[in-house]
Amino acid sequence: MVSFPLSPTNPTFSLINNNTNNKNPFPHAPIPRVSLSTRASLPQHQNPLNENKVDGGQLRLELVPRHVAVIMDGNRRWARLRDLPLSNGYEAGVRSLRGMMELCCKFGIRVLTVFAFSTDNWFRPQVEVEFLMNLFQHGVKEDVEVFASFRLCRMVVPIFCNDWNMDLNFLEFLSSPSIVSLRTLLKNPGTWLMYYPQSRLSSSKENIRISVIGDPTRLPETIQESIIYAEEKTKMNTGFQLIVAISYNGRYDLVQACQKIATKVKDGIIEPNDINNSTIEQELETNCTEFPNPDLLIRTSGELRVSNFLLWQLAYTELFFSPLLWPDFGEAEFLEALISFQHRQRRFGE
């Protein structure tokens, strides 16, 4: 039997031995505390003080993809190769995700979509599925306040700033040590204010929006509530968007889009002859972002397929396959993928 706590007062869970080699893949351990947040630097497009080239001049930041999608494959194999519990592989995978988020912010990539949990993954052992659900839920709970912290900053400053057209100046200000107190502001109304707890100052630069795509009906109610809360709290953030595909597959996305369009036709809202590419794209779940179609797809672990991920959206996406398992995919490999992308000539069917 599996027992997962719903309260922080019970920090452990027990799991049945489900491994064929008689090793428990998820031994007694604390609830996963692996965080999805990253103390990332300001997005490159918001920080002109950085150079336009990195990695010895090979990567041109003005040519980086706006939207990168990743199939994070190989967490279980990574753990098995090291004779570790499968849970260690998934936790290592989350650390790799944190690193990629930081790099996306550093290079000015606007959107990162990750294939976290396919609808096919529901057929995996229950103990593994429940561990993954816990990992996701606790990551969202711990990090949503970090992702949302920028909204307070945006509400405060316009009162005291004569030129609010310069988001950049405010972001640079937040990263500087010149934060002043409310008392100082009252004495000097022209001073820019960041009225935020000192312990969270380093988080105020995040400006990350989180979105979740996929079929929510199969997710536990607690996770559905966490998703709604996270999306609502971060919806005003504009610096970087993380899209997490959970209980998702590309065929599901197309089917639900067609169902919505069929309902509109039935209700007389649109005519069948009005349906075009744009009509379908507006109903796909990636309508949550300004850049719904990835420029670059990365898949790790040496597999050469898209595995039912973003089938419509990948029509003109450049593909990069890495032999490394996802937990081993780091900055050097990400740079290799980005440089490969920049060396390609995209024709979009022309």
221, 130, 145, 89: CA torsion to nearest 10: -160
Q: Tell me the DSSP string of 301-317.
A: TT--S-TTSSTTTTTT-
Chain CA centroid to CA 60, Å: 23
Strands 240-248 and 67-71: unpaired
Show the tokens assigned to 346: 């995209």
Residue 253 known to be catalytic: no
Contact at 8 Å (CB) between 79 and 86?
yes
Contact at 8 Å (CB) between 132 and 223?
no
Catalytic residue among 55, 73, 267, 328: 73
Q: Is the dihedral of CA 223, 309, 207, 159 positive or negative?
A: negative
- Alpha-carbon distance 350 to 204, whole Å? 44
Contact at 8 Å (CB) between 298 and 320?
yes
- Residue indicated by tokens 């937990």: 327
194-199: long-range contacts, CB 8 A cutoff, minimum separation 24: 194/153, 194/156, 194/157, 195/156, 196/149, 196/152, 196/153
Q: How far is CA 26 from CA 71, 73, 94, in A?
A: 23, 19, 16
Contact at 8 Å (CB) between 70 and 112?
yes
Element containing residue 233 per DSSP (H, E) = helix 221-234
Residues 6+ apart with CB under 8 A from 162: none
| Residues catalogued as catalytic | 73
